[in-house]
Each structure stands twice: as C-alpha cells, then as structure tokens.
Amino acid sequence: MRHFHVIVMATGLIFAASLGQVQARVIISEFLAVNDKDLKDADGDHADWIELHNAGDATIDLAGWALTDDAKDLAKWMFPAVKIEAGGFLLVFASGKNRAKPDGELHASFKLGAGGEYLGLVQPDGQTVAHHFVMKYPKQRDDVSYGMPAGWKPSSDLSTSLIAGQVYFLRPTPGAPNGETLAGKVAKLAFNQPHGFYEEPFELSITSQTPGAQIRYTTDGSVPAEGSGQVLNSALTVGKTTVIRAAAFKPGYKPTKVVTQTYLFLKDVVRQSPEGLPPPGFHYEWGANRVDYGMDQRVVNDERYRDKIFKGLRVI
C-alpha cells in the first residue's frame, strides 16, 4: 500500500531545475500555485501545495533534508522523519504554518511567491542541493497545476530532462501520478454586441480565437458546460429581453470563464407586469404595503411621455 503525507507550503515554483549527484532521485513532480478550490489542509484552508516524487528504486527517509526559498539559507525548514517509498509521493502544502510532526500534516515555515522565487530541496549534509528551481516559472493559472508528465523517467542528465518536460495539468492530482496535460487555455470570448438596452432585433455573434473551440450557451440562467447548454453554430437572432451565458471548450485545454451578457429590450421593460403583479417567487406584500412591480401603463401609453421614458431608460 502506497503511503503519502501532507506537508504544507504556498504559491509558486518552477521547473528550471538542476539536480546534484544524488542516488535518491527525489524530485518536485507537481505543484499548484493558485489554489482557489482544490485540496484543503486540515484547517480547511485552500493552501497551495508541492508534490515530491521518489523516482528511485528504494525508500528514502527525509529526516534531516530541508526545503528553502532562500539560496543563502539552505536549512530554512527541516523535514521530520518521514519517508517516501520507491515510486511514491509526498505532498507539501506551502502555508507558512511551520508544522513538522511526522505523524501529521506538515507545513513549511515559508510561503512561495506567485511571481516566482528560489526553491530548493537540500540533502541532510546541509550543502548538497538535490533539486532546486533557479528561474521563474511561467505564469500560473487558477487551479491548474504544473510539473512533470505522467510516465516521465529520469535520464542520466536529470537537469536536462526535468527542464524539457514541464507541462500544465488540466486536473491537479496531489499525491498521485500526474494526469492529462493541458495544451493551453481557450482564448476568451468576444461578443459583437455589448450588453445593454435595445429597441430593434440584432444578430449576436460569439467567437473565440482558439481554432476548434466549441462555444456553448444558455438562455435560462444555467451555467454552460462541456456536456450542457446549446452548441453555437451560427449567429443568434436576439429580438427580446435575453440573458446569454456562454463559455468555450476544447479537449485538452482549460475552458474560458463563463461570460454573462444581458440584452434588455425597452418595449419588454415597459410592458413587464402591466397589472403590477410580481414574478413567480417574488413577494407581493411587505407588511401593510402592496408592491407594484410594473410600470403604470397609463404613462407608458401616453404619447407625451413614451419617448421620454425610452430615452430615460437608455441612460441608466
């Protein structure tokens, strides 16, 4: 049975890596620098994390090893007596909470800068750097991890093979073999018509600059996803008050954020709830007061005010 511990750290790191002459091939195989909704630590915090992997063929005791974010202080945070089995993983959260009990969650005493900084794994002699990151890693994305692809094997020149193999991962896999790599991020959506007030029907186009991206949209307020929502194959005719929610997807790519655009038609606005009745689920009375939800149709239909009403709505 594979064992892994949770050790805590926080934000950023890079695979511009170099390895010393070390038979115990412990590497940093994956990290998540912007943890908004992934793994939580024992305190319920979304701490960023670093995953160590023993790529060798023997169990390694990390007692006396160290992690540091300062090349001038190689013993900044010391590991307790925890082990990584051959082929196993050790999860390191980066929280700055400084907890080093071997039977519990481990937290390093420092956090990592999101913009990139030094990070080193140091052997017990306090001088030999087994693995360190000397250049800034590429820009990190929310809940997208970064590291070595699954199935990666160390060569005789670990420095070269590490640098050449770094990838993003579509789904973080802390404490487990790395998963599907991320080829990139779908380019943001562009709408040819801005949200706002309209009086005449129009054709709405939604596009992404990513070739092969599929755009899905909804008009009922629900969130579009890879398996839900309508596929956009051509421009939409919008002729009434409509809420469009859309996102773009492509296999192996991180999808766009969901974009919501509301198109309000003035003729719908002035005619909604003509009797003053509330929409389903809305209160009709508050105490002794009865709520009037609609616009007074006597005013709306009066030629003296109609144009002024439309003009006023357009400047809201």
Residues 104 and 52 in one domain: yes
**Burial of 116 (C-beta count, 10 Å sphere; 0-12/13-18/19+):** buried
Overall domain count for the chain: 3
What length does the chain have?
316
Q: Tell me the C-alpha to C-alpha distance, in Å, between residue 277 and each of 285, 286, 310.
A: 10, 14, 22
Per-residue pLDDT tens over the stretch 186-243: 999 999 999 999 989 999 999 999 999 999 999 999 999 999 999 999 999 999 999 9
Between the CA of residue 162 and those of 21, 27, 184, what are the distances in Å? 15, 9, 20
- Specify whether 232 is located in the same domain as 171: no
74 & 11 share domain: yes
> What's the pLDDT score for residue 134?
66
Mean pLDDT calculated for residue range 257-271: 92
The yes-or-no verdict on residue 303 having pLDDT over 80 is yes
Looking at the fold, whether 111 and 178 belong to one and the same domain comes out as yes
136 versus 272: the higher-pLDDT residue is 272
Least confident of 50-59, 127-136, 154-163: 154-163
Here the CATH number for the domain that contains residue 219 is 2.60.40
Strands (E), 37-156: 48-54, 60-61, 66-68, 77-78, 83-84, 89-94, 106-107, 119-122, 129-133, 145-147
Distances in Å between the Cα of 265 and the Cα atoms of 22, 64, 195, 196, 268 are: 69, 69, 11, 8, 5
pLDDT at 149 over 70: yes
Give the CATH number, domain containing residue 18: 2.60.40.1260
What is the distance between the alpha carbons of residues 278 and 165, in angstroms, rounded to a whole number? 60
- The domain boundary, picked from 138, 157, 182, lies at 182
- CA distance linking residue 15 with residue 148, whole number of Å: 9
Between CA 152 and CA 164 the distance in angstroms is 11
Q: What would the mean pLDDT of 46-69 be, rounded to a whole number?
A: 91
Q: Are residues 225 and 285 in the same domain?
A: no
Residues 218 and 310 in one domain: no
Q: Say yes or no: 231 and 292 in one domain.
A: no
pLDDT value at position 40? 94
Domain final residue, candidates 182, 214, 244: 182
Distance CA 56, CA 24 (A): 6
Do 207 and 223 share a domain, yes or no?
Answer: yes
Verify that 231 and 138 share a domain, yes or no.
Answer: no
Residue 97: how many CB atoms within 10 A of its CB? 20
From 161, 182, 203, the end of a domain falls on 182
Q: What are the backbone dihedrals phi and psi of residue 12, each rounded to the nearest 5 degrees, phi first? A: 90, 155
Distance CA 150, CA 89 (A): 13
Q: Which domain holds residue 234?
A: 190-263
Note the pLDDT tens digit of each residue in 91-126: 989 888 999 999 999 888 988 777 778 878 889 999
Helix (H, G, I), strand (E, B) or coil at 182: strand
Q: Does 228 lie in the same domain as 93?
A: no
Say yes or no: 218 and 301 in one domain. Answer: no
Instruction: Assess whether 157 and 294 both reside in one domain.
Output: no
How distant, in Å, are the alpha carbons of 6, 11, 49, 105, 167 from that of 100? 10, 19, 15, 8, 30
